[in-house]
Amino acid sequence: MECLCVVWALEKLHYYLDGTVFDVITDCNAVKSLLNMKTPNRNILRWQISIQEYGGNMTIVHKSANIHKNADGLSRWALANTPDNQAWVPQEEHHIEGICVTDIGTEFFNQVKESYKIDKNFHILSQLVMKDCKDASLSSKLDETWKKEYDEGRFHLLDGILYHRTKNTCVMSLTDRTLINTILNECHDTVSAGHLSDDRTLERVKTCSWWPNWKKDVAEYCQTCDRCQNGNRATGKKFGMMIQIQEPKSLWEIVHMDWVTAVPPGETEAIMHA
């Protein structure tokens, strides 16, 4: 970096230094060998070529950092960004361009807690998680998906809400279909969601909630969205007409043509056959 600084300064001050004898004072002792390095790498070699015209007039002098503090002040003293500073840059004003309102609030979390009261899996998990119980007979009563996630230690109960944990997320678990549809609507249909694709909707859902087969439900929800089906039209060329050909009744009724390539070297590179 210090060598590059010397090269940059010489290029910028070329009009003042051309034909004069001068000293380059640096607190980096390694810079002294810039012009005399025997086996330089390609960067150093390129720099040597660019400043070799100063070889007879330039002397690189090492000055210890303890007595070279005057240069440090120029490079490290940051001036305040005020109108008194010649390099003053006015601060940009960022205006509010829109406000997103969500229907998910305290009432939603209360509804989640109410939905747990009639769910069999939650009652079993609450006993297993709160008491740190390892009763195999109790966990075997869970539905298959819930049991698999429990065996992997992914559930945590806090303030009456069951959370599902992964390596990077910790989100609430849902059991009621109405609440699941509320989350899907929030993550796909609202203004902030913007009716995005399946993958992007999945990314939004996984940051706030979990339920069994949630990926399948998200995909079906996006694929059955009327607005998406009417607005998201396929682009590009149409697919080929791969249909079964009926058996011909007479000669030359159907003619098929194709190219055969990658033939052995010869006079032709490809063969067309019918």
Per the CB < 8 A criterion, the answer to whether 115 and 179 are in contact is: yes
Q: How many domains is the chain partitioned into structurally?
A: 2
- Domain ranges, residue 168: 106-231
Computed over its alpha carbons, how large is the radius of gyration of the chain?
A: 36
257 vs 274: CA distance, rounded Å: 4
Backbone φ, ψ for residue 182 (5° rounding):
-65, -45
Same domain, 110 and 227: yes
Per the CB < 8 A criterion, the answer to whether 60 and 21 are in contact is: no
Whether residue 269 is contained in a domain is answered as no
β-strands 22-26, 155-158: how paired?
A: unpaired
26 vs 259: CA distance, rounded Å: 71
Mean pLDDT of 55-63: 79
Per the CB < 8 A criterion, the answer to whether 142 and 124 are in contact is: yes
Residue 106's pLDDT band (cuts 50, 70, 90): confident
Whether residue 91 is contained in a domain is answered as no
> Which of 7-11, 147-151, 236-240 shows the lowest per-residue confidence on average (mean pLDDT)?
236-240
Whether residue 79 is contained in a domain is answered as no
Same domain, 134 and 22: no
Whether residue 121 is contained in a domain is answered as yes
Whether residue 186 is contained in a domain is answered as yes
β-strands 170-173, 209-210: how paired?
A: parallel
Q: What proportion of the chain, given as a percentage, has pLDDT over 90?
A: 19
